[in-house]
């Protein structure tokens, strides 16, 4: 692809600005890169044959959000078609850390997480298959009195507002109960928050199992079928245009994950999300290791998988400097270097590649979605090595553990860290379900909420905090 002189100058100029400011931003790093990849998820065969001529609803994206939305719509009697540019759960839905938690979430996010946990606990029975979901419990050790006070305050508030006729099962634990949960820990942890109903889903099997159930109840799933855009008639959605033809429909749900901003940008709608990278790994289990989900304030985070391996995450976001960084970066600066999920920056060829990627196209033209069937970020080996070493130092039993697999991941949060689950008023019939960083927890609840919006049913959760209108203020 040729690059215009204007874009080249913009790219070079941006690089110069960043280079000149590197002394002011010591966290700029040179690792992290957006790349084509292979799916980690178990394979789901797509629907054979030609695209349907029409469908009551079309879902763009075959990750957890798209699949759960499709299931909810199909169970309400609608004909539903999922269009996925690559493979089911090929990107973040097959690469997530995948704790199912609600602890310390904001008041806006909490209902999605609390209700999501409820739905996950009944999911295996609902679909008649093993999603890999288990209720394991999650321990989050508290480092000091300030953390203890914060935990107590959050638990009290959350218990009062839990809702859904299901109490909050999070409490403070100490003594033998804590010691048994953190067996072999070298640090003398004295107090922790224990989320008894926290669960775990292995992303490589969870979403594919749900996709197979969706097919069983009539959802058509077309993989390797990129959507190029949407057409309207009479001011409303009329057709979804793909690389393989068009489908007539009056309802579209965009669950495009990291691609939602690019897709909507071609339609003149700004989605203020910024891609950030994470790294994940699995290590082998060992006899006598702590069970369930563990989060320690010294930067140790792990989750026991169904096969006995452990998912181990550094829990550090890395933002690769790209064209959108100059447009949106200032809004994300409050996340830099602190908080639960600290943000670092990287600079490299992603910057120049971002000026080359097409941001507008006609519906008869090839799109970036056809170039990147499955995409992710390169893993940060430094981050992965560091957290594994911390894990082995804290729990010496893991000295005999070995790395099984490592991978990169990409999520696209909004600057307020809330998902977008919203109608698009400029395009009646279009609903967006995207921008989550807790997709596996939120997926079942977000899918039901999205279906409520599509069908005009009273929403199971108040969608106001997730509305597109919040960006217009």
Whole-model pTM: value is 0.93
- C-beta separation of 198 from 138 below 8 A: yes
Write b or e for each residue in 359-389: b if 16 or more Cβ atoms lie within 10 A of its Cβ, otherwise e. eeeebeeebbbbebbbbbbbbbeebbeebbe
Task: For the chain, give every domain's residue range.
Answer: 5-472
Q: What is the DSSP string of 231-294?
A: EEETTEEEEEEETTEEEE-S-EEE--GGGHHHHHHTTT----B--EEEEEEEE---TTPPPSEE
- C-beta separation of 459 from 449 below 8 A: yes
Q: For residue 101, how far is the Cα from the chain centroid?
A: 14
Residue 84 has a pLDDT of 98
Q: Give Cα separations from 73 to 13, 196, 387 (angstroms).
A: 48, 31, 41
Residue 342 has a pLDDT of 62
Tell me the C-alpha distance between 468 and 266, whole Å.
Answer: 17
**What are 221's strand-pairing partners?**
82
**What are 242's strand-pairing partners?**
227, 245
SS3 429: coil
Strand duo 134-135 + 99-100: pairing: unpaired
- C-beta separation of 387 from 313 below 8 A: yes
Which residues of the chain fall below pLDDT 70? Answer: 1-31, 334-343
The CATH-assigned architecture of domain 5-472 is: 3-Layer(bba) Sandwich (3.50)
Tell me the C-alpha distance between 111 and 462, whole Å.
Answer: 9
Containing H/E element for 179?
A: helix 175-181
- C-beta separation of 423 from 469 below 8 A: no
Return the half-sphere exposure (C-beta side, CA atoms, 13 A cut-off) of residue 221: 30
Tens-place pLDDT, residues 62-116: 999 999 999 999 999 999 999 999 999 999 999 999 999 999 999 999 999 999 9
- C-beta separation of 230 from 428 below 8 A: no
């Amino acid at each position: 692809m040729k690059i215009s002189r204007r874009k080249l100058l913009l790219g070079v100029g941006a690089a110069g600005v960043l280079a000149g400011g590197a002394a002011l931003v010591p966290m700029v790093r040179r690792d992290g890169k957006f790349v084509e990849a292979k799916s980690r998820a178990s394979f789901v065969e797509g629907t054979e044959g030609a695209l349907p001529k029409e469908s009551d609803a079309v879902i763009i994206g075959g990750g957890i959000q798209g699949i759960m939305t499709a299931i909810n719509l199909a169970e309400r009697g609608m004909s539903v078609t999922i269009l996925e540019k690559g493979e089911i759960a090929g990107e973040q839905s097959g690469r997530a850390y995948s704790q199912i938690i609600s602890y310390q979430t904001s008041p806006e996010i909490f209902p999605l997480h609390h209700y999501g946990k409820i739905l996950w606990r009944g999911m295996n029975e609902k679909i008649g298959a093993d999603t890999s979901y288990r209720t394991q419990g999650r321990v989050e050790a508290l480092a000091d009195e300030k953390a203890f006070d914060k935990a107590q305050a959050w638990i009290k508030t959350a218990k009062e507002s839990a809702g859904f006729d299901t109490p909050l099962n999070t409490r403070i634990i100490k003594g033998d109960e804590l010691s048994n949960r953190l067996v072999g820990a070298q640090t003398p942890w004295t107090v922790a928050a224990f989320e008894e109903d926290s669960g775990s889903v292995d992303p490589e099997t969870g979403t594919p199992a749900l996709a197979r159930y969706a097919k069983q109840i009539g959802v058509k799933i077309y993989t390797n079928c990129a959507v190029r855009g949407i057409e309207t008639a009479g001011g409303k959605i009329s057709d979804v245009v793909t690389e393989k033809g068009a489908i007539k429909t009056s309802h579209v749900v965009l669950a495009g994950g990291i691609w939602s901003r690019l897709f909507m940008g071609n339609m003149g709608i700004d989605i203020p999300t910024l891609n950030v990278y994470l790294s994940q790994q699995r290590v082998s289990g060992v006899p006598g290791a702590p069970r369930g989900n563990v989060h320690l304030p010294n930067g140790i985070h792990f989750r026991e998988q169904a096969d006995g391996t452990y998912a181990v995450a550094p829990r550090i976001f890395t933002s690769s400097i790209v064209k959108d960084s100059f447009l949106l970066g200032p809004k994300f600066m409050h996340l830099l270097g602190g908080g639960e999920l600290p943000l670092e920056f990287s600079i490299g060829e992603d910057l120049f590649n971002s000026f080359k990627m097409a941001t507008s196209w006609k519906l008869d033209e090839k799109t970036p979605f056809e170039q990147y069937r499955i995409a992710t970020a390169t893993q940060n080996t430094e981050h992965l090595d560091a957290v594994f070493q911390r894990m082995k130092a804290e729990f010496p039993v893991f000295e005999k553990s070995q790395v099984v697999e490592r991978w990169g991941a990409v999520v696209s949060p909004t600057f307020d860290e809330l998902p977008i689950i919203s109608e698009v008023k400029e395009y009646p019939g279009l609903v967006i379900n995207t921008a989550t960083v807790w997709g596996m927890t939120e997926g079942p609840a977000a899918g039901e909420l999205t279906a409520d919006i599509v069908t005009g049913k009273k929403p199971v959760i108040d969608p106001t905090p997730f509305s597109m209108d919040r960006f217009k203020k």
